[in-house]
Every structure is written in structure tokens, then in C-alpha cells.
């Protein structure tokens, strides 16, 4: 990471676009007397996602499960619940978009800790570094990877040649990596780049919090089932790993299929950490939507198939993105700005792996 943690956008061209877009979006909420935060749909979704995770877990720890297959099925449902909590509940909360009440956002944002991660590293990686510096080499934390090459600006290594083939296996390990190692690695790196101060934390306190959270999570989610279930411990461990593998693969595909594509652009900042572009135009050029007609799919993944709208309006709850996307697309067309979108999730995934294959070639 470069000395300045966030890219500075100094471009002035097309700045009228974001002003007009904000006027149109604000007008939509005013004309319809709507709050930009969550509604009853969001509350019902929260209850559903929490149930999807905790109900199978309660069934497991009641000790009545005698079959390995049944146990794996329950862990797999929990994996979907993990994804739902992360994509459809925690994500909005940690953006401050779930509720106008900070205490509600903080409480629901803390759910990330309940499923094995740490909310502070997520906020810094996602809110601070990814959203402000999308697809910018050495700034966007989501591009930082020691094995996969996600940007043409990154150094090519021989291991990248076949990355389009082995990437799904690494994606599956994402959640396990986050649970056991990544949070510790990130918190140290973020401290070196003076990013902890804004969160009101010292490195010592952050490491203590992460350690305690991880121990509580592993004790409740892994050790407790081993103690109360009649199945062998190694079978329970397989179930736990299966849950994380499913969750990691889903999360990686949802997020990577919005930015690392053959239709999106990648950038390098100058020596001063600046990019000659308007921030809003940059977001449109580095982000894509997919499967906008898939209403159930969109509901399940927290509207994150509307990544363009999310990057332009991260403080608006995702339940409004369906309507907002029409406004954004129309405004982009009015200003002759490219609006990236794919008809289906599969189309976006294909584009992502085409890009991985292209980046895997020696340049």
C-alpha cells in the first residue's frame, strides 16, 4: 500500500453527472415520501437470514442428528445463512444504510463477528479502501492478492498462467482464511498505514478483540457441536469446513463478478496518489451490474447484483436499488457515460473468468 491510503480524484470533467444524478435520486425519495434506509422488507429479510443460519445450528447442538448426510445438509444451509447475513444484513448495516439509528447499524454490523470475521477490518477494507479506490492498483484492498492476478497493473507471475482454473478452489478457502488468518494480517497492515485511528482503536486493542472474537466463535460454532453431538469429531469438522467452503465460493463470485471483468477498467494512481477522473465516473467504469431481472436472486444476495448503484450510493439501503438503477442508467445515458451490466449472473461469471484467463497470460 502506498503512503496515502486513499486515492484522490482531481478530474473535473463530467462532474455535472453526479450532481444531476443526486438530484434525480433525491427527488424520487421526496416525491414518494420514502426513507433511504431499510423498510419492512429489510426486517423480514433479516429474520429470514438469521433463521437460515441459527435454526440449523440449534438442530445440530440439540444432539438429535445421527446421520453424516443430514449433518452436512444442515451445515450447508448454515453456509447460505452466513452468506445471507453477510450480503443482505451486515453489509448494509456497516455502511450505515440499514437504519437511521446508529445503534441498530452497529448491532447488526457486529453480526460479522458472530459468523467468524471482524467488523473493523471489513469496514477498513471495504468502506475505506475498496469503495474509495475501486480497481486502483495498490489502493483497492480487494485487488491485493499473493496468488491471483486481478489487475493488468499487477506483476505477472508464472503461477498466474492457470489461475482461471484454480481460482474457484481458492475462492472456496476465502471464508476459512478470513476466520483464521486474514483479520490478523490486515489489522497489522492497516495499523502501519494509520487506518486504525479513524476507528478509535489501537493495534493492541484490535488484536485483543479479534482474538477474543475468534475464540468465542470457534468455541460456540465448532467445539460445542463436538461436545454435544454423537457423531465423531472429525465428521463435525468436515461439516464446519464445508460450511465455510460454500460460503467463501459464493461470496467471492458475487463480489469478483462486479469488478474484475472484461468490461471494467483498471487504473494506476500517479506519484501523488491522484487520478485524473471524477469519482462517480470512475465508479461507473470499474463496476458492473448483473441479473437485474432476477428478483429472488437479488433479494437473497442483498441487492449486490446492483453494484453500480451500491458504489454510487452506499448509504442507501439495497432494497431501493431496483428503482434507483433505472434512474442511474437513464442519467448515464443522458451524459453519454457507459453503464456496465450483464443479463445474468452466469454471464458476469463468464466475463470474470475470461478476465482471469487474460490476466493469466504473460504480458
- Which candidate, 51, 116, 40, 59, places its Cα nearest to that of 84? 51
Beta-strand relationship, 8-9 and 274-275: parallel
pLDDT, position 4: 55
pLDDT of residue 2: 46
Q: What is the pLDDT of residue 60?
A: 96
Residue 349 clears pLDDT 70, i.e. is over it: yes
Helix (H, G, I), strand (E, B) or coil at 316: coil
Buried b (16+ CB within 10 A) or exposed e, 282-313: bbbbbbbbbbbeeeeebbbbbbbbbbbbbbbb
CA 110-1-210 angle, 5° bins: 25
What would the pLDDT profile of 193-217 be if each residue is shown by its tens digit?
Answer: 889 988 889 999 999 999 999 999 9
φ, ψ of residue 155 to 5 degrees: the values are -65, 135
Note the pLDDT of residue 6: 79
pLDDT at residue 144 tops 90:
no
Report the alpha-carbon distance of residue 214 to residue 242 in Å, rounded.
18
Neighbours of 152 (CB within 10 A): 14
* Percentage of the chain exceeding pLDDT 70: 98
- Over the stretch 169-198, which tens digit does the pLDDT of each residue have? 999 999 999 999 999 999 999 999 889 988
Amino acid at each position: 500500500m502506498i503512503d496515502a491510503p486513499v486515492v484522490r480524484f482531481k478530474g473535473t470533467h463530467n462532474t455535472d453527472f453526479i450532481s444531476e444524478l443526486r438530484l434525480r435520486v433525491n427527488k424520487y425519495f421526496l416525491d414518494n415520501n420514502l426513507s433511504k434506509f431499510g423498510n419492512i422488507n429489510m426486517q423480514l429479510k433479516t429474520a429470514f437470514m438469521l433463521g437460515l443460519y441459527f435454526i440449523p445450528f440449534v438442530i445440530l447442538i440439540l444432539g438429535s442428528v445421527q446421520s453424516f448426510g443430514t449433518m452436512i445438509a444442515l451445515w450447508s444451509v448454515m453456509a447460505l445463512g452466513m452468506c445471507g447475513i453477510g450480503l443482505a444484513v451486515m453489509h448494509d448495516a456497516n455502511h450505515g444504510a440499514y437504519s437511521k439509528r446508529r445503534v441498530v447499524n452497529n448491532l447488526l454490523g457486529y453480526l460479522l463477528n458472530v459468523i467468524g470475521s471482524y467488523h473493523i477490518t471489513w469496514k477498513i477494507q471495504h468502506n475505506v479502501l475498496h469503495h474509495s479506490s475501486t480497481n486502483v492498483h495498490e489502493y483497492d484492498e480487494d485487488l491485493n492478492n499473493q496468488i491471483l492476478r486481478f489487475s493488468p497493473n499487477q506483476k505477472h507471475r508464472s503461477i498466474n498462467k492457470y489461475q482461471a482454473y484454480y481460482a474457484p478452489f481458492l475462492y472456496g478457502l476465502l471464508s476459512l482464511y478470513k476466520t483464521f488468518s486474514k483479520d490478523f494480517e490486515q489489522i497489522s497492515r492497516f495499523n502501519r498505514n494509520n487506518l486504525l485511528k479513524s476507528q478509535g482503536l489501537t493495534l493492541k486493542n484490535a488484536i485483543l478483540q479479534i482474538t477474543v472474537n475468534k475464540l468465542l466463535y470457534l468455541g460456540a460454532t465448532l467445539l460445542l457441536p463436538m461436545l454435544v453431538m454423537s457423531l465423531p469429531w472429525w465428521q463435525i469438522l468436515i461439516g464446519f469446513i464445508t460450511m465455510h467452503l460454500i460460503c467463501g465460493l459464493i461470496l467471492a463470485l458475487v463480489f469478483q463478478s462486479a469488478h474484475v471483468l472484461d468490461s471494467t477498467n483498471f487504473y494506476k494512481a500517479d506519484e501523488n496518489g491522484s487520478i485524473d477522473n471524477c469519482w462517480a465516473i470512475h465508479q461507473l467504469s470499474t463496476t458492473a451490474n448483473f441479473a437485474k431481472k432476477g428478483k429472488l436472486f437479488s433479494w437473497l444476495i442483498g441487492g449486490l447484483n446492483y453494484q453500480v448503484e451500491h458504489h454510487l450510493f452506499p448509504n442507501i439501503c439495497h432494497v431501493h436499488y431496483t428503482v434507483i438503477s433505472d434512474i442511474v442508467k437513464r442519467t448515464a445515458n443522458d451524459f453519454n457515460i457507459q453503464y456496465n451490466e450483464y443479463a445474468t449472473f452466469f454471464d458476469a461469471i463468464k466475463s470474470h473468468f475470461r478476465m482471469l484467463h487474460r490476466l493469466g497470460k504473460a504480458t
